[in-house]
Amino acid sequence: MKKKSCLAASALLLVAAAPAAFAAPDWSKVPKRDVVVFSPGATPIEWVMKKSDHSGRTGINKGESCVGCHEEKGGLNFDMARLAGKELEPAGAPKTLSFPVTVQAAYDKDKLYLRLSFKAPKDAAAGADREEASPKHEVKAAVMLLGAKVPMAAQVGCWATCHADVRSMPGADPNKKKYISSASLGGDVYADYFQWKSGEAGKGAVQLDGHVAEARVNKDGKALVKAEGENKGGQYVVTFTRKLAGSAGDLALAEGAVVPFGIAIHADRTIHRFHHVSLGYTLGLGADADIKASKQ
Ligand code: HEC
């Protein structure tokens, strides 16, 4: 008699666990889109918008996007020698200047699921800023979603937050964090972001849910449910589960939304601007976009 009630109890547990298990997308069925991330050096928005530095400025003013000019045949058409050189990266560029991140996205009635798969290089330059304090995160992966009212959000992606006077830029204030000009949390003039950090060897990974408005804030977000990552010999798979519902610092998402976003990978313990970043792409929830999230 005792045994039987025990069995019944475990059967109940199984039933209770089932809905959560079903909610996670079957990633083998979700389409994949490669997004190339690259070492951008010191090319903040002020550089991008200065004609003598970047002739692309004229096109941006006419409404063209970074991706429109720089993505070709699934890759980026940058002059890699220039990205590697002292002109754009005085501190030294990594050997691996760019690599693909496979992006998959899905959503259901209340959550967004984003999955990034990539091989993290381990060849940052000696001059790059590194994680010194504990935990030493070997790799960090972040996604930034841009508010609909951020100027040029769909054209420039994360560059809306990247400025010449932000810490780690040549000659900049070491304490100034990235920001959005004329930001407003209430008016959707901010970037929402979440990040997975691998954690020091033997210690658990860390997740972060923040936003960038007048300054970067590494906390206060309530939408990120979890960020999970695995590392199989340098091959990383990072999955974010995020509520669609928004609040201050968490952009509200809904079916039909097309959200500008970008990705940043800090490999080889790098911090600050020494990351590999994507240009600005769009994520569509059941709507046409660069990456179309599949409905679950
Ligand atoms: C209208 C087309 C156009 C747009 C839009 C554009 N670019 Fe460019 N970009 C160029 C051209 C052309 C060059 C080559 C160097 C030059 O002429 O300034 C270039 C060069 C660069 C370089 C230096 C590496 C190289 O290949 O010389 C970087 C980095 C860069 N662009 C980033 C961006 C980013 C980031 C954006 C969006 C915020 C952007 N570009 C938007 C046309 C464009």
The pLDDT tens digits along the chain (296 residues) read: 334 444 444 444 444 444 444 468 999 999 999 999 999 999 999 999 999 999 999 999 999 999 999 999 889 999 999 999 999 999 999 999 999 999 999 999 999 999 999 999 999 999 999 887 666 899 999 999 999 999 999 999 999 999 999 999 999 999 999 999 999 998 999 999 999 999 876 778 999 999 999 999 999 999 999 999 999 988 999 999 999 999 989 999 999 999 999 999 999 999 999 999 999 999 999 999 999 999 99
Q: For ligand 1, atom 3, which residue shows the shortest CA distance?
A: 56
Here the contacts of 56-59 (C-beta below 8 Å, separation 24 or greater) are: none
CA 116 – CA 100 distance, rounded (Å): 10
Q: Which atom of ligand 1 is nearest to the CA of 157?
A: 38
Tell me how far the alpha carbon of residue 74 lies from the centroid of ligand 1, in angstroms.
17
Rounded CA-CA distance 69/31 in Å is 24
CB 214 within 8 A of CB 244: no
Is the Cα torsion angle 255, 260, 266, 270 positive or negative in sign?
A: negative
Q: Which atom of ligand 1 is nearest to the CA of 79?
A: 26
- Predicted confidence at residue 233, as pLDDT, reads 87
In this predicted structure, what is the pLDDT of residue 134?
64
Query: Ligand 1 centroid to 70 CA: how many Å?
Result: 7
- pLDDT score of 14: 46
How many A from CA of 49 to the centre of ligand 1? 10
Please tell me the predicted confidence (pLDDT) of residue 200. 73
C-alpha to C-alpha distance for 163 and 44, rounded to whole angstroms: 5
| CA-nearest residue, atom 8 of ligand 1 | 56
Residue 154 sits at the vertex; the CA angle it makes with 294 and 129, to the nearest 5 degrees, is 95
Geometric angle at alpha carbon 73, from 67 and 78, rounded to 5°: 55
Give the per-residue pLDDT at 135: 65
Residues having CB closer than 6 A to ligand 1 are 40, 43, 48, 54-56, 59-60, 64-66, 68-70, 78-79, 82-83, 156, 159, 279
Closest by CA to 182, choosing from 205, 142, 150, is: 150
Q: Please tell me the distance between residue 54's alpha carbon and the centre of ligand 1 in angstroms.
A: 6
Residue with tokens 């974010």: 240
What per-residue confidence (pLDDT) applies to 21?
44
Atom of ligand 1 minimally distant from the CA of 53: 18
Predicted confidence at residue 222, as pLDDT, reads 94
Q: How far apart are CA 21 and CA 16, in angstroms?
A: 10
Mutate which of 45, 51, 69 for ligand 1? The one with the most ligand atoms within 8 Å of its CB, which is 69
What span, in angstroms and rounded, lies between the C-alpha atoms of 191 and 260?
10
Q: What's residue 203's pLDDT?
A: 76
Residue 78 alpha carbon to ligand 1 centre in Å: 8
- Which whole-number Å values give the CA distances from 211 to 22, 65, 161, 169, 250, in the listed order? 30, 23, 10, 20, 7
- Say if residues 260 and 267 touch (Cβ distance below 8 Å): no
Angle in degrees, CA 57, 61, 62, rounded to 5: 120
Specify the residue with its C-alpha closest to ligand 1, atom 27: 79
Which residue among 70, 79, 155 has the greatest number of ligand 1 atoms within 8 angstroms of its CB, and so is best to mutate? 70
Q: What is the pLDDT of residue 12?
A: 45
Q: What's the confidence (pLDDT) of residue 23? A: 63
Q: Whose CA is nearest to atom 9 of ligand 1?
A: 56
